[in-house]
Amino acid sequence: QVQLVESGGGSVQAGGSLRLSCAASGNANMRYCMAWFRQAPGKEREGVASTYTNSGPSYYADSVKGRFTISWDNAKNTLYLQMNSLKPEDTAMYYCAADRICLSPTLMTEGEYNYWGQGTQVTVSS
């Protein structure tokens, strides 16, 4: 069992930055695949970025490449999403997710994650 708690959301103007955090507790010192997803009103949840907790490749949705960076801090058992050059279309509820086994090529298939946080709202104004 892993518990995930997101924080760091807020309201910013276009071009601004935010850093989201996802604190993991429980059996968080095992190897996990982890990801950030987001869901805008009226839209389906989509994968934003993903990585492994014990190093390994990271993956990004095309819409955020070059602007967002995902990272894992072993000492703090915390997943981060640094978001720069934010756009109004980045406005959404952001969720972190974790699981022991992820088989999809980019680790961003929603259905393969069993552990989810409660979400944190990001609003970007133009």
* pLDDT tens, residue by residue, 108-125: 999 999 999 999 999 999
- Per-residue pLDDT at 31: 84
User: In this structure, are residues 47 and 35 in contact, taking their beta carbons and an 8 Å threshold?
Assistant: yes
- Per-residue pLDDT at 27: 74
Residue in 99, 110, 120, 102 with CA at minimum distance from that of residue 1: 99
- Is the four-CA dihedral 13, 19, 25, 27 of positive or negative sign? positive
Kindly give the parts of the chain with pLDDT less than 70.
Answer: 28
- Per-residue pLDDT at 68: 98
User: In this structure, are residues 22 and 91 in contact, taking their beta carbons and an 8 Å threshold?
Assistant: no
- CB within 8 A of 59, min separation 6: which ones? 49, 50, 51, 106, 107, 108
